[in-house]
């Protein structure tokens, strides 16, 4: 507890000096003790005063080190929790840090793979890239024939750093829930637990290797996209070895031209690859920034770094496709009906009113030059509108929308006049034909017959269950097993989450609570 409190005070002082602990923009809504804590913790030079709150928070997290940079990036994928403006600022966190010593990386590889380095790699070069949790080395394998490889190695002690900071945040969350009714409503303890789970997965490089392997399997028939092959013999929890990509970065437009590639074609390929993965496969690369995308000699798009991946189940994919198709056709009644069909908008809101709100989103963009039309912005406005109509947060869609922002930015950097709508249209229309056309209806009919068959098989047991329930009711009431009761309570707790208010304000306010208590 003492270590957690000391760490929190250090974090609080750093945030306060950036005016990111309890930003001045939110002072009017804060209790007096928070204002006192803000003043005392922030004594000294004020940094970044001219920046917006989200950018001040990002700068503070960068100064706190790798663990906080990664935590900020995790939060950036959840604008439904922290707000769009804060999420946008955190998504711009600079994930580029000085590398650690190559000898440390060599030692870590030997220790984690359990073999001498020379038995696995005939060469192991200086780092070519260094980020918040790992760095990448170029190497050559000892197998025949030898292969050039990219070896990703976790930073020494990164797990300890994360464990320390997550422990401190969990302590702050528990304290906040204990002393603040508002904090209890926002359930910061559950949020910190979710962040801890996400970080744990990203710190296990076998999970990244598995994501790369799955994406490669799903896209193996795509002629214009490929994924580096994972070398599982040289991969562990802290080391990931993949084939080396000898390609041209999409960030270098002139180099692409010199290599004989058309930047406009690459822009279209980036967008169509992402939309195809999201709609067709339901599994997409959710970190498609310029540093993670290359073009090989054959003109294929190659993605690297699979630490952040997104999934869309079939119903969500159909919802997304029909929504985009509806906007493309300017059929706002259709888009509204899709939301009601999946139960996203409560029936207490008239469908006509919702369709009118959708029209207010779509109409202003039609007729404008393509460079002024942002599909990512449209999806963001759609999510904001649905929240006003009491639609519950859909993390799958939020991550897709965030990735769309990045993908659109990459495409526009390659072709300033890029038309997102025309690039997306054939993918959406093809998916709609496959999912809603005659073949899809036959498939759905087959699934329905299968479901009826299962119902027929289960009918005797259902009847016996009904008889048991009737007997319990006749005997004085329905009795639930204790595990069932707990499950219902847990489910209700999840449904009751109201995390629309900016999460980071709550978490950081917990630091203010701690400071106020200690002061």
Longest Cα separation, the chain: 83
498 three-state secondary structure: coil
User: Taking a C-beta distance cutoff of 8 angstroms, is the pair 288, 91 a contact?
Assistant: no
Report pLDDT for 270: 96
Start-to-end Cα distance in the chain:
17
Report pLDDT for 291: 87
The 8-class DSSP code of residue 391 comes to P
Domain locations along the chain: 96-244, 247-436
Catalytic residue among 19, 161, 222, 287: 287
User: Taking a C-beta distance cutoff of 8 angstroms, is the pair 153, 101 a contact?
Assistant: no
Residue 204: which of 165, 169, 154 has the closest Cα? Answer: 154
CATH class of 96-244: alpha beta
Owner of token pair 């001045």: 24
Report pLDDT for 399: 78
Note if 28 is an active site residue: no
Residue 323: which of 386, 373, 267 has the closest Cα? Answer: 386
**For residue 149, what are the contacts with CB-CB under 8 A and spacing of at least 6?**
121, 138, 139, 140, 141, 231, 234, 241, 242, 243, 244
Tell me how far apart the alpha carbons of residues 430 and 410 are, in angstroms, rounded to a whole number: 24
Residue 56: which of 82, 9, 30, 17 has the closest Cα? Answer: 17
Q: Is the dihedral of CA 206, 238, 131, 5 positive or negative?
A: positive
User: Taking a C-beta distance cutoff of 8 angstroms, is the pair 237, 207 a contact?
Assistant: no
> pLDDT by residue for the chain (519 residues), tens digit each?
778 888 878 888 888 888 877 777 766 666 666 666 666 666 555 566 678 888 888 888 888 887 788 778 777 766 656 766 787 788 777 667 789 999 999 999 999 999 999 999 999 999 999 888 899 999 999 988 999 999 999 999 998 888 888 888 888 888 888 877 766 766 778 777 877 887 888 899 999 999 999 999 999 999 999 999 999 999 999 999 999 998 999 999 999 999 999 999 999 999 999 999 999 999 999 889 888 999 999 999 999 999 888 899 888 888 888 888 888 788 899 989 988 888 888 888 899 998 999 898 888 877 676 566 677 777 777 877 877 887 766 667 777 877 888 898 899 999 988 888 788 888 888 887 877 655 554 445 554 555 555 556 656 665 665 555 455 555 554 444 455 445 444 544 444 443 333 344 444 444 444 444 444
User: Taking a C-beta distance cutoff of 8 angstroms, is the pair 470, 42 a contact?
Assistant: no
Which tokens belong to 492?
């209700």
Residue 444: which of 279, 314, 311, 275 has the closest Cα? Answer: 314
User: Taking a C-beta distance cutoff of 8 angstroms, is the pair 432, 439 a contact?
Assistant: no
477 three-state secondary structure: coil
Tell me how far apart the alpha carbons of residues 320 and 396 are, in angstroms, rounded to a whole number: 11
- What H or E segment, with its residue span, contains residue 308? none
Report pLDDT for 510: 47
Q: What is the CA radius of gyration of the chain?
A: 26
Please give the C-alpha separations between residue 61 and each of 38, 48, 100, 175, 406, in angstroms, as whole numbers: 17, 13, 20, 22, 21
Which tokens belong to 200?
């744990």
Please give the C-alpha separations between residue 183 and each of 178, 316, 448, 519, in angstroms, as whole numbers: 8, 31, 45, 20
Angle (CA) 425 428 430, round 5° = 105
Tell me how far apart the alpha carbons of residues 110 and 239 are, in angstroms, rounded to a whole number: 10
Report pLDDT for 384: 75
**For residue 151, what are the contacts with CB-CB under 8 A and spacing of at least 6?**
105, 109, 121, 124, 136, 137, 138, 139, 234, 239, 240, 241
Tell me how far apart the alpha carbons of residues 89 and 53 are, in angstroms, rounded to a whole number: 9
């Amino acid at each position: 507890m003492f270590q957690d409190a000391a760490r929190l005070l250090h974090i609080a002082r750093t945030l306060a000096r950036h005016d990111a602990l309890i930003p001045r923009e939110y002072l009017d809504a804060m209790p007096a003790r928070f204002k006192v804590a803000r003043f005392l913790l922030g004594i000294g030079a004020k940094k970044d005063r001219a920046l917006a709150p989200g950018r001040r928070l990002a700068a503070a997290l960068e100064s706190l080190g790798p663990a906080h940079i990664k935590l900020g990036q995790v939060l950036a994928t959840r604008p439904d929790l922290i707000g769009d403006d804060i999420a946008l600022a955190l998504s711009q966190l600079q994930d580029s840090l000085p590398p650690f010593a190559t000898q440390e990386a060599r030692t870590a590889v030997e220790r984690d793979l359990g073999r001498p380095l020379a038995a696995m790699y005939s060469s192991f070069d200086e780092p070519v890239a260094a980020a918040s949790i790992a760095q990448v080395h170029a190497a050559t394998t000892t197998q025949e024939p030898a292969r050039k490889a990219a070896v990703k190695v976790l930073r020494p002690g990164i797990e300890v750093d994360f464990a320390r900071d997550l422990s401190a945040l969990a302590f702050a969350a528990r304290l906040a829930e204990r002393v603040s009714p508002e904090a209890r409503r926002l359930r910061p303890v559950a949020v910190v637990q979710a962040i801890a789970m996400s970080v744990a997965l990203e710190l296990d490089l076998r999970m990244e290797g598995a994501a790369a392997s799955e994406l490669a399997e799903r896209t193996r028939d795509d002629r214009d996209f490929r994924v580096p092959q994972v070398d599982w013999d040289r991969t562990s929890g802290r080391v990931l070895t993949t084939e080396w990509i000898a390609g041209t970065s999409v960030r270098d437009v002139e180099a692409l031209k010199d290599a004989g590639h058309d930047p406009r074609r690459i822009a279209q390929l980036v967008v169509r690859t992402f939309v195809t993965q999201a709609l067709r496969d339901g599994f997409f690369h959710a970190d498609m920034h310029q540093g993670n995308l290359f073009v090989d000699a054959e003109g294929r798009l190659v993605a690297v770094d699979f630490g952040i991946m997104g999934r869309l189940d079939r119903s969500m994919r159909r919802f997304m496709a029909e929504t985009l198709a509806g906007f493309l056709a300017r059929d706002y009644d259709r888009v509204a009906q899709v939301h009601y069909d999946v139960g996203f908008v409560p029936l207490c809101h008239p469908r006509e009113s919702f369709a009118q709100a959708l029209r207010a989103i779509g109409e202003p963009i039609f007729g404008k030059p393509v460079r002024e039309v942002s599909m990512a912005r449209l999806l963001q406005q759609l999510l904001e509108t649905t929240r006003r109509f009491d639609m519950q947060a859909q993390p799958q869609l939020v991550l897709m929308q965030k990735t769309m922002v990045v993908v659109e930015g990459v495409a526009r950097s390659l072709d300033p006049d890029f038309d997102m709508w025309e690039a997306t249209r054939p993918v959406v229309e093809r998916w709609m034909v496959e999912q809603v056309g005659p073949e899809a209806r036959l498939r759905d009919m087959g699934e329905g017959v299968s479901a009826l068959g299962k119902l027929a098989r289960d009918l005797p047991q259902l009847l016996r269950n009904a008889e048991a329930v009737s007997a319990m009711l006749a005997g004085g009431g329905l009795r639930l097993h204790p595990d069932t009761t707990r499950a219902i309570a847990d489910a209700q707790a999840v449904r009751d989450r109201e995390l629309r208010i900016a999460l980071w304000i709550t978490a950081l306010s917990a630091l203010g609570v701690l400071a106020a208590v200690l002061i």
